[in-house]
Amino acid sequence: MIKSCDVAIIGAGPAGANAGIMAASQGCHTIIIDEQAMPGGQIWRAKSGSIKSAPKTPEIIDGDKLRASIAKSNLSHIANARVWQIERESGKWVLYFIINGRSEKIRANVLILATGAREYVQPIPGWTLPGVIGLAGATALMKRDLLTPGKRTVVSGTGPLVFFVASEIRRLGGEVAAIVTPNSRADWLRALPSMSYRPDLLRRGLVWVSDLLLAGIPIFWRHAMKQIDGETKVQSVKVSKVSNDWSPKGPTHLIEADSVCIGHGLQAASEASQLLGIDVKYQLELGGWVPEVQEDGITKINGLFICGDGAGIRGAAAAEIHGKLAGLSAAKFVKPEANFSNSALLNSYRRASRFGMAMTSLSIPRKGLQKLITQETIVCRCESLRRCDIENEIETGAATTNAVKSGLRAGMGPCGGKYCQSIIAKIIADRKNQSEEKIALPTPRPPLRPVPTSALLGEFEYTDLQIPKPAPL
């Protein structure tokens, strides 16, 4: 039986969960669909049920408060469900999702997309070796299972997440071999005025860095990893200084390690919004390509709202407030007679955004990092495509990500291009001497997520197949 509701929300992170709580508080029958077992998203991820006790970090405390609020509300939460298609039928949204190995669907008057962000990892030689994990992936591993990525880890990348991950590794008993970041101390000083909007988070960041310095962990400012070495797993990394545009320069320095955490900021997960007809625009200060959406979550399509990191990278605090704004907007759409003011929330959202965008500015990779991708470096992991393969396709006339996708299947693997397409766009821009803004994103196609054929077809016997008689000779 198809479930129906007033408001359907995809994503149960800080934005989606708060949107749902707010819409439900206004009397809307609201359903949240999420891929994870528990609400909270990446930032407020719940620990595994096998973990009986763990230190109460601010993220765990905030996540527990969120999950308690959901439990007290009239909100329905469908966990471990993967939305793979969205359609519009007779003015209603129809969401197809996979749960327990089968495909089901929900019909809703209003749809809120709170799809969050995906991590950008700059490819370098050796980044596909076992023992290499993204900063966001490492964060999930440590929050959920209290496990470190390895015994001796190099943490490399941009922005504040580098220091958070390194600090967490130490807290959980792991060894941090070194921190490698192309950011300079001056970059952080320039961000300080905007960071003052959240003194609590500023203090936490200072604690992380102080802890690392007191422990004697080397911090390679204005450096980047050039290569990860190892036969079947990580054994060492090579780092070098970088210039103002983060191009590698000078001699390399060898660091022995058995694991690497690497990440270079976040990008809005905009595939669903694009699929539904929302225009995207390039805003580097928000992580790159973002959908066009108002501060209160309203889009140009009636009954469609977007909130959180999926609308641009502004940080968890802004995402939480943006979710509340979108939830109120959705409730107003369902119940036009509703009377409330969102002015206080809008002011809070703007203040939180200033802090979050300052952090985003520190995380955005500069053009010079593309020089770390050698001709033999894997760019598309799903299809094992190297930089030279991509460039050969460009030389034969492929001037768009869609053209490269068509010619080489880049982006047609299990990840759906979520990790390689932005890298390919950067390579095209470099080869064509154009800005990345001029290189459009590939056209999203359903399914939004991989769908097992068995879930769509159900069980059947081969004897049930009607095989026609052979044609006469």
**Is the whole-model pTM more than 0.85?**
yes
Q: Considering all CA atoms of the chain, what is the largest pairwise distance in Å, rounded to the nearest integer? A: 85
Find, among 117, 184, 220, the residue nearest to 366 by Cα.
Answer: 184
Q: Are 221 and 183 in contact (CB under 8 A)?
A: yes
Domains belonging to the chain, first-starting first, are 3-118+267-360 (3.50.50.60), 121-264 (3.50.50.60), 373-438 (1.10.10)
Grouping H, G, I as helix, E, B as strand and the rest as coil, residue 50 is coil
Q: Are 387 and 426 in contact (CB under 8 A)?
A: no
Strands 132-134, 259-263: pairing is: parallel
d(CA 383, CA 420): 10
DSSP state of 249: E
Q: Is 94 exposed, middle or buried (0-12, 13-18, 19+ CB in 10 A)?
A: middle
* 285 backbone dihedrals φ, ψ, rounded to 5°: -65, -15
Sequential pLDDT tens for the chain (473 residues): 568 999 999 999 999 999 999 999 999 999 999 999 999 998 888 877 666 566 677 888 889 999 999 999 999 999 999 999 999 999 999 999 999 989 999 999 999 999 999 999 999 999 999 999 999 999 999 988 899 999 999 999 999 999 999 999 999 999 999 999 999 999 999 988 888 778 888 888 888 899 999 999 999 999 999 999 999 999 999 999 999 999 999 999 999 999 999 999 999 999 999 999 999 999 999 999 999 999 999 999 999 999 999 999 999 999 999 999 999 999 999 999 988 889 999 999 999 999 999 999 999 999 999 999 999 999 999 999 999 999 999 999 999 999 999 999 998 888 888 889 999 999 999 999 999 999 988 888 888 888 887 776 665 555 555 566 664 44
DSSP of 138-150, one letter per residue?
HHHHHHHH---S-
Burial 286-309 (b: 16+ CB within 10 A, else e): bbbbbbebebbbbbeeebbbbbbb
Tokens of 33: 């669909």
Q: What is the sign, positive or negative, of the torsion defined by CA atoms of 10, 15, 18, 19?
A: negative
d(CA 356, CA 272): 23
d(CA 46, CA 81): 17
Beta strand ranges found along 272-419 (DSSP E): 280-283, 288-291, 304-306, 378-380, 385-386
d(CA 252, CA 224): 10
Grouping H, G, I as helix, E, B as strand and the rest as coil, residue 100 is coil
Categorise residue 75: left if φ over 0, alpha if ψ from -120 to 50, beta otherwise.
beta
